[in-house]
Structure 1
Amino acid sequence: MKRKKVAAVIGTVAAIAACAAGIFLYKVKFEKKRQDVLEEYMGYIEKGRYDKMYALLDEASRNTVSAEDFVVRNKKIYEGIEADNIRLDVSEKQEKSQPISYKVTMDTVAGEISYDNDALFEKESGKWRIKWNDSMIFPNLKAADKVSVVSIEAKRGEIYDRNGALLAGQGTVANVGLVPGKMAVQPQEELEAMAALLGTTASSISDKLDASWVKDDSFVPVKKMTNSALETPAGEEEASLKDKLLELPGVMISDAESRVYPYGDCTSHLLGYVQEINAEELEELKGKGYDEQSILGKSGLEKLYEDRLKAQKGYKISIVDAEGNEKEALASVSAKDGENITLTIDGHLQQSVYEQYKNDKSSSIVMNPKTGEVLAMVSTPTFNSMDFVLGMSQEKWDSLNNDEDKPLFNRTRESWVPGSSFKPVIGAVGLTTGTLSADENLGASGLSWQKDESWGDYQITTLHEYGEEAVLRNALIYSDNIYFAKAALKIGADTLTEQLKKLGFGEDIPFEIGMSKSQYTNEDHISSEIQLADSGYGQGQILVNPLHLACIYSAFVNEGNMIKPYLEIKDARGPEYWKAGVFSKEAAAVIQEDLTEVIADENGTGRGAYTEGADLAGKTGTAEIKASQDDENGTELGWFAVFNTDGDKKSSFLMLNMVEDVKDRGGSGYVVDLDKGLLDEMLTKE
């Protein structure tokens, strides 16, 4: 019995010993090492959990710095330098009696910072805790020191025209504001008068004056404006807006730097505008050099070329003492100005085209058909880029959006019914494929025609009769719908479809600015004879982008090759064909010769553009936009494409204009008349 008791006691002791050993092993295995605590501490930085970092400090450290002061200091420093991607490197074998040596590497707004450091630990209640002081942030940082982040400004890239004229760049605007100490004793009446002149509200001005930083001698900005807007008289024989504002006590006008667009409205659709970056964009572009003060291209070329135009601020991160003297430079990155970009656009020509068409809903393309350089690209009506840059009222924004003429709509990027401007394309396709002969008489058919009774009541109509000789040249001179309907039927749906695909229909246009695709049908094929016949004179379901149509016309001066358009001048950039051999050389020559008669012949629809001594070729087009053949309330698009036939690579030009709502205004003749002045300018330009 005694032996059993002894054995039992021994067993109990062994069990207790084993249990104790297990607990010891558990503690050894799962107790956090100093390295683990350090890694946990550093891991909280990117998460912004400075409170969690403070909880890992030993009691002595917590008695030295309060939780609030610790959180504020660490937050200001790490978020001020935009610390990210923090990496910790700790060597495995280190003596417990010695501080832990480690290396920290982090990305910051000024580039990478890397430093070696030591951390001391104290064991409290069986847990390792960090003996903290400011050198845990950076080795040479003392309690009285600060971490300075200095930004170095850079300049956004500028955009120039082909002649070196500034299209978008840095300039000055008027900054209208108030000096509170110089205002009237009872300013409400003055605020209301100022608000009425500036198109804002008295309450919004009052809110600016109530800002905490405002003192009696402060200049309080109210609104930035272009100098031209400020100098414009409010009405006939009235004082300028500037004079009226300066009559109010306390008003002051100073200069402020801004992105400016010297050519004004005429380049707004092309260039677009910049604005301050918003929170959503800042998050989306995180890590790409933007901050809360950055400006960002929001539309047009400003947006397209944003990555190249943007200014990259420089930054320097330093430790400075209480007097602001630099103790140590931690990291720096140089400022980098944005890239300047030069366009093929001629600013003067862009302005001239705009002035001619500013009262219409229009799209205009001017290009050099032998090089592909786009010389002007204008959509009207338009807006003013500066309204977006300087900020616009809700009233102004609503007026732009609710305007039935759609000034924010860029018509050059869309596709439109080409009408008779498409007839030279059908003629060239027929000649190239051998389905049409230039001298073949397709028969006079009067002013209306249908193939046979299978068409029911549907008739194709034309405006002019010109005798019995319905051949290609006469059909182009008189713009005969019936001839080109018959020509399309001769070509056939399959052949026409094949040739239009060769011309780039259904493809993206290879151009810096995205353009809508041209189409020959709403479906996947031309589904009926009537649709095919209507396609022959640019109706049916044909839609063409103006730039694309200009490129197709370039084949008439390039022996059947379509030029590739471009907008930016680059070193060693030369002419390049988008599509080679779209028409035969012979077909291109015939069409070019016939189009000269459209202008030279007294009966030609383009006769209004005739200029003595000039070798011009062109084609008009009036496209009907209506619900049915019997619809009398539809509208019309007017087209005119014109080019010189004797130009070299320097002097060649091709202009294509489209105007909406020309019904009862002369149709395409309205466009021809507007172009006459522009042609005189281009023909006399050296």
Structure 2
Amino acid sequence: MGKKLTVILALAILLFLAGCQQQATPEDRLKEYIEHWNTGEFSEMYSAYLNTGTKEAYASEDFIERQQMLYEELAIENVEVSYTEPPEDAEWDTENPADFPVQVKMDTLAGPVEFEKTMTLLFEAQEETEAWFVEWDPSFIFEQLEKGDEVRVSTTKAERGEILDRNEQPIAINGTGFNIGVVPKSFTDAAAKEELAEILGISAASIDEKMGQSWVQEEQFVPIAKAAKTNTELLEKAAAIPGVTYQETAMREYPYGEALGHLSGYIGPITAEKLEELKDQGYTSTDSIGRRGLEQTLEERLHGANGVKILIDKQGEELTVAETPAENGETVILTIDAELQKSTFDAMEGEAGTSAAVDPNTGETLVLASSPAYDPNEYMLGISESRYKELTEDPLNPLFNRFGAAYAPGSTIKPVTAAIGMEAGTLDPAAGIQIDGATWQKDDSWGDYRVSRLHPEAPNPIDLNKALVYSDNIYFARQALEMGNEAFISGLQSFGFGEEVPFALELQTSQISNEGTLGSEGQLADTSFGQGQMLTNILHLASMYEPFLTDGIMYKPLLFMDEEKGQVWKDGLLSADNAETLRAGMRNVVVDGYAQSANSSTVKIAGKTGTAELKGAIGEEGQENGFFVAYDSESPDFILAMMIESIEDNGGSDYVAGFAAKVFEAHKTE
């Protein structure tokens, strides 16, 4: 009997305590609901917190699945929901609704969204639970949203930024081209279809596919392929076929074509792999992206950002929820002089080679050319297989960007060798040395190795001026030996060898040797006149001549007009007196030496030629690359460095000097 009484008393106490527990207030319930809201727990919000009327009006898919879908499609994140707290002495009547001001903030793909609404809680019984429940409708997703409304995203395409030269001449612009197409009613001849397919480099089946699209009408123009407006030959051939015509359309243009092809690069349709990589940056499957050259290097600056709107469609009426306007890509202005570059490219006459020109007083890059080249207009439009094969099989390799590569500079390095020797105090420019014969070696320890000279007729004694005029390898080899490894290597490093050129584009680093050291006296001798394992890129070679005009300063090479001009890269490379000595010597190279093709009657050109022999197989003659680095001695607006490959059958490096002279003469007459 005592045990039974104890159990009854315990139950009574539990019932009493349960009755004493305070019922959750509407504020308590709202807090819990908001916690789930902020973390996107829509299932819990629906099942445990929505009132009966809301559940009758909105099925779970209208609440749970729709919000989950919108959060994903609209990139909704950083949701912050809060409410305005009621007075501390607020009393709640279960017979009346409880209202709370609720503040909603979120980030979306179209920008931030923020609004305030009144949320109402009703006291009711659901199953065995009596509590306060939320009355909900779609306006708690977006303030203007009502039942039956659709939410959609509208995108405004950003304009791609343009690339201009220093004079704001167009290099890569949003211009126009042509759609080549047919009018089906007039295009019925099978032979005409085959002819069009052939000139466009596509199949007849692909023409049929485009003509068979559902929207095509007999008298309606059907686009088949695009063509740059510079491709007049293709346009004329196409228009001569019955039923074929062309219409103007918006298109990326590269007005200078091949002359700036390797520098400008081109754009093309974005690949699936690249789209996956860049999808968070606003790219879509219909976008184009930089594929080569500056179009690729500057992609982030040129692409811009598409505009995005989140819209509520109310059966024809549209309301904007959030909007981020389109941000067009930048207009990038280069230091390049497009007309000077075209003049230089044309002067090279399609020969395999490369050229660079720099302003010696600022470091601005005026020319950066690779020859031969491709037309970026052709690539941008989607090059045909036959044309691509033609380019890849061309022995001159027009797809190879030569200004990014490095080459043995040959005798063009001799003024640098002289500058290092003069500054080291081991080379007296006025002192002559006796050099006899066509070859020389220091002693028998050199074995079979000997230094050769091209002009053994040079009159003794040989001083620096004669050594430059006659490009005497033996003179410079002996000067390098006099300097010694340590001083010569240190001097070359002071001119930037072994160091990445601080430039906007990737260039192969100039090297003293493969290891950066000189392992023998023979290698030291070879390197003094630009052979051995020495390599330099063409832009660095042009920059290395700046100290001869600036009394010892080499500037950082620039590519963009908004960069600070005259940034010193290397300083104290040689004295004013030594610079003057080298300037006089390089003028004499053209007047008295073997760069006679540059001995112009209109421009007083100074410079240094160079020939670098690339060793062939045993018993075979090697290829020779010719160089000329030069400037107008009276008006040194720019230093031009030019290299032409395989000049062994064209009279040596004087062949290159003739090409360069055309550039200076054309510039003089502008």
TM-score category, normalised to shorter length: 0.7 to 0.9
**Residue among 639, 643, 661 paired with 1:654:** 639
Is the 2:142–2:321 contact (alpha carbons within 8 Å) kept by the matching residues of 1?
no
Distance 2:183 2:55 in 1: 49
Over 3 Å counting, the alpha-carbon distance change for 1:449 and 1:432 in structure 2 is same
- Residue matched to 1:10: 6
- Deviation per CA, 1:38-84: give whole Å up to 9, x if none: 55466459xxxx99998887786666566777788657755564434
Q: Does 1:225 align with 2:227?
A: yes
- Residue matched to 1:338: 329
- Residue matched to 1:300: 293
Letter in 1 for 2:240: K
- Residue matched to 2:629: 641
Q: Does 1:109 align with 2:109?
A: yes
CA RMSD of aligned residues (A): 3.6
**Residue among 160, 165, 169 paired with 2:169:** 165
Over 3 Å counting, the alpha-carbon distance change for 1:40 and 1:662 in structure 2 is farther
Q: TM-score, normalised on structure 2?
A: 0.86
Over 3 Å counting, the alpha-carbon distance change for 1:512 and 1:13 in structure 2 is same
Distance 1:312 1:228 in 2: 30
Is the 2:480–2:524 contact (alpha carbons within 8 Å) kept by the matching residues of 1?
yes
Distance 1:490 1:109 in 2: 69
Give the CA deviation at 1:305. 3.2
- Structure 1 residues 126-145: aligned runs within 5 Å: 133-145=137-149
Distance 1:634 1:280 in 2: 43
- Deviation per CA, 1:479-506: give whole Å up to 9, x if none: 1112111111111110011111111112
Over 3 Å counting, the alpha-carbon distance change for 1:387 and 1:612 in structure 2 is closer
- Deviation per CA, 1:575-613: give whole Å up to 9, x if none: 343212111222211111111111001xx1212210136
- Deviation per CA, 1:530-555: give whole Å up to 9, x if none: 11111111011211121111111111
- Residue matched to 2:591: 600
Q: Does 1:273 align with 2:263?
A: no
- Residue matched to 1:206: 208
SS at match of 2:505: coil
Is the 2:406–2:537 contact (alpha carbons within 8 Å) kept by the matching residues of 1?
yes
Distance 2:582 2:59 in 1: 87
Name stretches of at least 5 consecutive residues in structure 2 with no aligned partner: none
SS at match of 1:339: coil
Distance 2:191 2:16 in 1: 87
- Of the structure 1 ranges 513-522 and 258-267, higher mean CA displacement relative to structure 2 is found in 513-522
**Residue among 409, 420, 424 paired with 2:411:** 420
Over 3 Å counting, the alpha-carbon distance change for 1:200 and 1:126 in structure 2 is farther
Distance 1:204 1:119 in 2: 62
SS at match of 1:365: strand
Of all paired residues, the percent bearing the same amino acid is: 34
Is the 1:605–1:619 contact (alpha carbons within 8 Å) kept by the matching residues of 2?
no
Give the CA deviation at 1:441. 2.9
- Residue matched to 1:351: 342
SS at match of 1:163: coil
Distance 2:40 2:349 in 1: 60
SS at match of 1:473: helix
**Residue among 468, 473, 480 paired with 2:460:** 468
Letter in 1 for 2:294: L
Give the CA deviation at 1:559. 1.4
Letter in 1 for 2:324: V
SS at match of 2:480: helix
Is the 2:409–2:627 contact (alpha carbons within 8 Å) kept by the matching residues of 1?
yes
- Structure 1 residues 449-464: aligned runs within 5 Å: 449-464=440-455
Give the CA deviation at 1:621. 0.5
Is the 2:605–2:630 contact (alpha carbons within 8 Å) kept by the matching residues of 1?
yes
Letter in 2 for 1:657: M
Letter in 2 for 1:158: E
**Residue among 478, 481, 506 paired with 1:489:** 481
- Residue matched to 1:194: 196
SS at match of 1:331: strand
- Of the structure 1 ranges 140-149 and 654-663, higher mean CA displacement relative to structure 2 is found in 140-149
Distance 2:120 2:74 in 1: 22
SS at match of 2:549: coil
- Of the structure 1 ranges 169-178 and 149-158, higher mean CA displacement relative to structure 2 is found in 149-158
- Residue matched to 1:237: none
Is the 1:557–1:645 contact (alpha carbons within 8 Å) kept by the matching residues of 2?
no
Is the 1:489–1:533 contact (alpha carbons within 8 Å) kept by the matching residues of 2?
yes
Is the 2:269–2:289 contact (alpha carbons within 8 Å) kept by the matching residues of 1?
yes
Is the 2:239–2:245 contact (alpha carbons within 8 Å) kept by the matching residues of 1?
no
- Residue matched to 2:509: 517
- Of the structure 1 ranges 170-179 and 153-162, higher mean CA displacement relative to structure 2 is found in 153-162
Is the 1:110–1:316 contact (alpha carbons within 8 Å) kept by the matching residues of 2?
yes
- Residue matched to 2:362: 371
SS at match of 1:141: coil
Give the CA deviation at 1:354. 1.4
Distance 1:254 1:293 in 2: 21
Distance 1:20 1:88 in 2: 38
Over 3 Å counting, the alpha-carbon distance change for 1:556 and 1:145 in structure 2 is same
- Of the structure 1 ranges 255-264 and 555-564, higher mean CA displacement relative to structure 2 is found in 555-564
- Residue matched to 2:181: 177
- Deviation per CA, 1:323-349: give whole Å up to 9, x if none: 32x4x4433333333332332322222
- Residue matched to 1:663: 648
- Deviation per CA, 1:300-339: give whole Å up to 9, x if none: 2223333433333334444342132x4x443333333333
Distance 2:368 2:544 in 1: 17
Give the CA deviation at 1:291. 4.1
Name stretches of at least 5 consecutive residues in structure 1 with no aligned partner: 235-239
How many residue pairs were aligned? 652
Is the 2:263–2:369 contact (alpha carbons within 8 Å) kept by the matching residues of 1?
yes
- Of the structure 1 ranges 676-685 and 468-477, higher mean CA displacement relative to structure 2 is found in 676-685
Distance 1:68 1:407 in 2: 60
Is the 2:304–2:328 contact (alpha carbons within 8 Å) kept by the matching residues of 1?
yes
Distance 2:69 2:406 in 1: 54
Is the 1:414–1:515 contact (alpha carbons within 8 Å) kept by the matching residues of 2?
yes
Is the 1:168–1:259 contact (alpha carbons within 8 Å) kept by the matching residues of 2?
yes
- Deviation per CA, 1:336-379: give whole Å up to 9, x if none: 33332332322222112112225221110122222323222110
Letter in 1 for 2:628: F
- Of the structure 1 ranges 655-664 and 194-203, higher mean CA displacement relative to structure 2 is found in 194-203
- Residue matched to 1:619: 608
Q: Does 1:86 align with 2:88?
A: no
Over 3 Å counting, the alpha-carbon distance change for 1:298 and 1:457 in structure 2 is same
Distance 1:41 1:213 in 2: 47
Q: Does 1:551 align with 2:540?
A: no
